[in-house]
Amino acid sequence: MVASPPARFSVPAVTQPRINEANRKSVGPLSMPPRLLLGPGPSNAHPAVLQALSLRQVGHLDPAFLAMMTEVQELLRYAWQTDNRITIPVSGTGSAAMEATIANVIEPGEVMLVGSMGYFGNRLEDMADRYRADVRTIKKPWGEVFSLEELRSALEEHRPKVMALVHAETSTGACQPLEGVGDLCREYNCLLIADTVTSLGGVPLFVDEWGIDLAYSCSQKGLSCPPGASPFTMSDRAFEKLSQRPGKVPNWYLDMSLVGKYWGAERTYHHTAPINMNYAIREALRLIAEEGLENRWQRHQANAELLWEGLEDLGLVLHVQKQYRLPTLTTVRVPAGVDAKAVTSQLLNDYNIEIGNGLGELGGKVWRIGLMGFNSRPENVILLLAALDRVLAAAGYRK
Ligand SMILES: Cc1ncc(COP(=O)(O)O)c(C=O)c1O
C-alpha cells in the first residue's frame, strides 16, 4: 500500500472549483467548424503550415532553432525583396510589428506625417500620438489613394522626420502606389514606414527598390499562417536613427536594439521566441519561395479578377476604382434594402464561408472579401459567388 505523503507534501484542496463540478471532466476536446475564411483575415492556414506548427519543440536557443531563424530571415528578405539586416518576425500580431516601427524611430516631439485613407491609417495616427510624436495627418476619402503630388506638398508643408502610409488598406480595399515615394522621402530627409499587412505575399512589393525604410506585416493573411509572428524590416537609415537616439526606446519588448541582437549574429536571449509559430512562418515563407513571387502575385491578380467579374455579373458594385483595387481584398457595396450583417451571418451559418462586414466609416456599406495566400483559388471564388447569389436572393435582392 502506498503510504500517505508527509503533510508538508500534501496538495492543497481546491476551495473554489470555478467550473461546475459536473462539467469538469466532461469538457470534451476542442473542435471548431470547418470555415472557409474569405474575409479580411485571417485566411486559412496552408495544410503544410499547420503540419509545421505541430512539429516537436526544441529550445529557443537550440542550435537547430538558431539555424532555422537564419532561414526565416533569408526567406522573409526574399518575400519583401530587401537586403535589410534587421528583417525578422516580431512575436505578436501585425499591430505589434506596427508599433515596433513607430517605437523605434519616433522621439517625443518629432513630426510624423500619416497619410490616412482608412481605418489602419487612423490606427497609425493613434499609435504615433501615444509615442508623443507631433502627428500631422493628411486624409483621403475611404477607397481612394494619395498621388505623388499630394504627398510632395504634404512633405513640403510638414517637414516630418517620418512619414507612414498604408500600402494595402484592408478597411477600403485600396492599394496605395508606393513607387517614387521613397525617393520623395529621401529628398525631404525623412523615413518611410509602410503597412504591408494585406499586401505581403499577394501584391507586388519591393521594399529596397521603393525606398521603404520600415515595413511591417502579419502572418495570417497573404502568408496563410496563423496569427502571431509578424514580419518587420528596417533599413540601415532607420537603424542609424535608432542608434542615435539620446534615450531608450520607450517600449522594452519591441526595442530593435535588443531584439535585433537575438536575431543578429549574437543570438543573445531577449524573450522566448514562440517556437512553433516560427516553424509555421518558415513553412509559409518556404511555400512562397517555392511558388515564386511573380507567380504568386499573378495568381492573386487572376483570382481577384475572376471575383470582380462574378460580383459585377450579380449586379453588384465594387467600391474601389479598378486601377487601385487590391487583389487580396475586395470591397463590394451592399445593395439598397439589404441587411449587410444578415448576409454575412447566413453565409457563415449555412455555407461555412466567412466574409467581412464593413469597418469604421464603411460599416454597413460594404462587404470585404479576401482572397489571400492559400485561399486565392478559383474554386473558392466560384463557391462564394454561388453561395452569395442564393443568400442575396433570400435577402430580397434582385439584380
Ligand atoms: C492594414 C492593416 N494594418 C494593421 C493590422 C493589424 O494587424 P493585427 O490584427 O494582426 O494586429 C491589420 C489587421 O487586419 C491590417 O489590415
Predicted local confidence at residue 14, as pLDDT: 75
For residue 11, name the pLDDT band (cuts at 50, 70, 90). confident
Q: Residue range 106-113: average pLDDT? A: 98
Helices 275-291, 293-313: axis angle to 10 degrees equals 80
Q: Model confidence over 33-54: pLDDT tens digits?
A: 999 999 999 999 999 999 999 9
Contact 320, 311 (CB under 8 A): no
Predicted local confidence at residue 224, as pLDDT: 98
Instruction: For the chain, give the percent of residues with pLDDT over 90.
Output: 92
Distance CA 343, CA 15 (A): 47
The number of C-alpha atoms within 13 Å of 34 and in the hemisphere containing its C-beta is: 1
Q: Is 395 helix (H, G, I), strand (E, B) or coil?
A: coil
Does the beta carbon of 275 sit less than 6 angstroms from any atom of ligand 1?
Answer: no
Beta bridge partners of 175: 168
How distant, in Å, are the alpha carbons of 64, 74, 193, 205, 318 from that of 355? Answer: 39, 33, 29, 25, 15
The CATH classification number of 293-394 equals 3.90.1150.10
Beta bridge partners of 329: 370
Predicted local confidence at residue 4, as pLDDT: 64
Does the beta carbon of 204 sit less than 6 angstroms from any atom of ligand 1?
Answer: no
How distant, in Å, are the alpha carbons of 174, 190, 209 from that of 183? Answer: 22, 10, 10
Predicted local confidence at residue 12, as pLDDT: 77
Domain boundaries, the chain: 47-290, 293-394
Contact 68, 279 (CB under 8 A): yes
Query: Does residue 3 register a pLDDT over 90?
Result: no
Does the beta carbon of 198 sit less than 6 angstroms from any atom of ligand 1?
Answer: yes
For residue 263, name the pLDDT band (cuts at 50, 70, 90). very high
Q: Which of 95, 167, 200 to mutate to test the pocket of ligand 1 (most atoms within 8 A of CB)?
A: 95
Does the beta carbon of 120 sit less than 6 angstroms from any atom of ligand 1?
Answer: yes
Predicted local confidence at residue 344, as pLDDT: 98
Does the beta carbon of 229 sit less than 6 angstroms from any atom of ligand 1?
Answer: no
Ligand 1 centroid–CA 197 distance in Å is: 6
**Domain range 47-290, CATH class:** alpha beta
Beta bridge partners of 202: none
Beta bridge partners of 34: none
Confidence (pTM)? 0.96
Q: Model confidence over 124-134: pLDDT tens digits?
A: 999 999 999 99
For residue 292, name the pLDDT band (cuts at 50, 70, 90). very high
Non-local (6+) Cβ contacts of 269 within 8 A are 60, 61, 262
Residue nearest to atom 16 of ligand 1 (CA): 170
Does the beta carbon of 41 sit less than 6 angstroms from any atom of ligand 1?
Answer: yes
Q: Is 233 helix (H, G, I), strand (E, B) or coil?
A: strand
Query: Does residue 8 register a pLDDT over 80?
Result: no
Predicted local confidence at residue 7, as pLDDT: 62
Non-local (6+) Cβ contacts of 20 within 8 A are none
Query: Does residue 306 register a pLDDT over 90?
Result: yes
Non-local (6+) Cβ contacts of 3 within 8 A are none
The residue that leads in pLDDT, 199 or 3, is: 199
How distant, in Å, are the alpha carbons of 90, 127, 248 from that of 275? Answer: 12, 28, 28
Distance CA 139, CA 361 (A): 13
DSSP labels, 73-130: HHHHHHHHT---SEEEEEES-HHHHHHHHHHHH--TT-EEEEEESSHHHHHHHHHHHH
Ligand 1 centroid–CA 350 distance in Å is: 28
Q: Which of 91, 119, 120, 326 to mutate to test the pocket of ligand 1 (most atoms within 8 A of CB)?
A: 120
Ligand 1 centroid–CA 179 distance in Å is: 22
Predicted local confidence at residue 368, as pLDDT: 98
Distance CA 94, CA 232 (A): 9
C-alpha cell at 89: 518576425
Ligand 1 centroid–CA 222 distance in Å is: 12
Contact 253, 233 (CB under 8 A): no
Q: Model confidence over 150-200: pLDDT tens digits?
A: 999 999 999 999 999 999 999 999 999 999 999 999 999 999 999 999 999
C-alpha cell at 261: 541582437
Query: Does residue 18 register a pLDDT over 80?
Result: no
For residue 85, name the pLDDT band (cuts at 50, 70, 90). very high
Does the beta carbon of 195 sit less than 6 angstroms from any atom of ligand 1?
Answer: yes
Q: Residue range 218-241: average pLDDT? A: 98
Q: Which of 170, 362, 368 to mutate to test the pocket of ligand 1 (most atoms within 8 A of CB)?
A: 170
Does the beta carbon of 326 sit less than 6 angstroms from any atom of ligand 1?
Answer: no
Ligand 1 centroid–CA 18 distance in Å is: 35
Query: Does residue 109 register a pLDDT over 90?
Result: yes
The residue that leads in pLDDT, 20 or 204, is: 204
The H-assigned helical ranges of the chain are: 21-24, 47-53, 63-80, 94-105, 119-130, 148-158, 181-187, 236-243, 256-263, 275-291, 293-313, 340-351, 378-394
Does the beta carbon of 117 sit less than 6 angstroms from any atom of ligand 1?
Answer: no
Instruction: For the chain, give the percent of residues with pLDDT over 70.
Output: 97
Give residue for cell 510589428.
97
φ and ψ of 151, to 5 deg? -70, -40
Closest CA to 168 of 200, 125, 192, 140: 200
Specify the ligand 1 atom closest to the Cα of 40. 14
Ligand 1 centroid–CA 195 distance in Å is: 9
Query: Does residue 80 register a pLDDT over 80?
Result: yes
Predicted local confidence at residue 5, as pLDDT: 59
Predicted local confidence at residue 21, as pLDDT: 73
Query: Does residue 228 register a pLDDT over 90?
Result: yes
Predicted local confidence at residue 399, as pLDDT: 85
Q: Residue range 195-215: average pLDDT? A: 98
Ligand 1 centroid–CA 395 distance in Å is: 31
How distant, in Å, are the alpha carbons of 12, 173, 275, 323 from that of 210? Answer: 62, 21, 32, 19
For residue 273, name the pLDDT band (cuts at 50, 70, 90). very high
Ligand 1 centroid–CA 275 distance in Å is: 22
Q: What is the mean pLDDT of the chain?
A: 96
